[in-house]
Amino acid sequence: MTASAEKFTRQTLLDVQSLTPSLFTLRTTRDPGFRFTAGQFVRLGVNKSDGSTVWRAYSIVSSPFDEHLDFFSIVVPGGEFTSELSRLQVGDTLMVERQATGFLTLNRFVDGRDLWLLGTGTGVAPFLSILQDFEVWEKFERIVLVYSAREAKELAYQSLIKELGAREYLAEYAHKLIYIPTVTREQHPGALNGRITTLIENGELERVAGAALTPEHSRVLICGNPQMVDDTRQLLKQRDMQLSLSRRPGQVAVENYW
């Protein structure tokens, strides 16, 4: 099989940053022919010592226009894939499938005024890609990024989030972004304390955002652990906010991160 016929390309690891013992970020080179829509994921492959290859899906953090690919990973204790991935060093090879996929993208919504991005842990990854793409800033009047972690030290990409408004192509739109970090296991200055579901139920999230979660104006992307996704979906369903399907446009789109 020729390299061009393979379903993946071999990319070089450019950077690895450990955030905590269980969280790390990585950057690879990008094949010139690789295309994706902000919010999508791609499967990454690593070679094991026995010569076999193990694959896992990862949302892409970087912009569709970047020359590199960024990913955000958790280390699963004893996990077949992340144990191998976390051992990689700059210069090592990582396989990237040629075809990106996933439906946590803006084309899930045909209208809407306010976009809510609700993410826990590494589930923030697709939202960072969306925020680096120009489309979201033109399409919505208000963008609320809610990023929840157990401890403040687990909140990644803080410098990226803060400098979005300083980017020349986003400067006139920076006022649209409302960033709300939340921490569940400790009190932290500048962050709300509590789970996303609790903060929706008690009204605190909407109060801080200065916007209401309504089927008329709100469109919601949810990404994180399955329990959070399911619980949040149920809360929004109680407000008559439905999953957006190809045959029936709605207000909510989800992706589990497990």
Return all residues near 8 (Cβ < 8 A) that are at least 6 apart: 43, 45, 95, 96, 97, 98
Same domain, 229 and 114: yes
User: Domain total for the chain?
Assistant: 2
Token pair, residue 240, equals 């008559």
Token representation of residue 223: 């990404």
112 with 53, same domain?
no
Residues 134 and 231 in one domain: yes
Residues 10 and 50 in one domain: yes
- Domain match, 18 and 114 both: no
- At 159, which CATH number? 3.40.50.80
pLDDT tens track, the chain, 258 positions: 444 458 999 999 999 999 999 999 999 999 999 999 999 999 999 988 888 999 999 999 999 999 999 999 998 888 888 888 888 899 999 999 999 999 999 999 999 999 999 999 999 999 999 999 999 999 999 999 999 999 999 999 999 999 998 888 888 999 999 999 999 999 999 999 999 999 999 999 999 999 999 999 999 999 999 999 999 999 999 999 999 998 899 999 999 865
Whole-number pLDDT of residue 3: 47
Same domain, 110 and 85: no
Please report, for the domain that includes residue 69, its CATH number. 2.40.30.10
Distance CA(30)–CA(12), nearest Å, equals 8
pLDDT value at position 246? Answer: 83
Residues 87 and 111 both lie in one domain: no
List strand residue ranges (DSSP E) for the chain, in order.
8-20, 23-29, 41-47, 53-59, 68-74, 93-97, 114-120, 142-149, 177-183, 192-193, 218-224, 252-256
Write down which residue in 97, 117, 140 finishes a domain.
97
> Which domain-ending residue is among 97, 119, 150?
97
pLDDT at residue 1, rounded to an integer: 43
Kindly state whether residues 175 and 228 are assigned to the same domain. yes
Instruction: Look at residue 31 and give its three-state secondary structure.
Output: coil
Considering the domain architecture, whether residues 120 and 244 belong to the same structural domain is answered as yes
Measure the CA–CA gap between 58 and 28, rounded to whole angstroms: 13
- Looking at residue 37, its pLDDT comes to 98
145 strand-pairing partners: 117, 179
Question: Can you give the pLDDT at residue 186?
Answer: 95
Distance CA(209)–CA(116), nearest Å, equals 10
**Secondary structure element (H or E) that encloses residue 137, with its range:** helix 134-139
pLDDT at 84: 86
Domain residues for the domain of 123 are: 106-256
- Looking at the fold, whether 61 and 93 belong to one and the same domain comes out as yes
Domain boundary among 68, 97, 126: 97
Q: Give 68-79 as a DSSP string.
A: EEEEEEE--TT-
Judge if 92 and 111 occupy the same domain.
no
Alpha-carbon distance 67 to 100, whole Å? 16
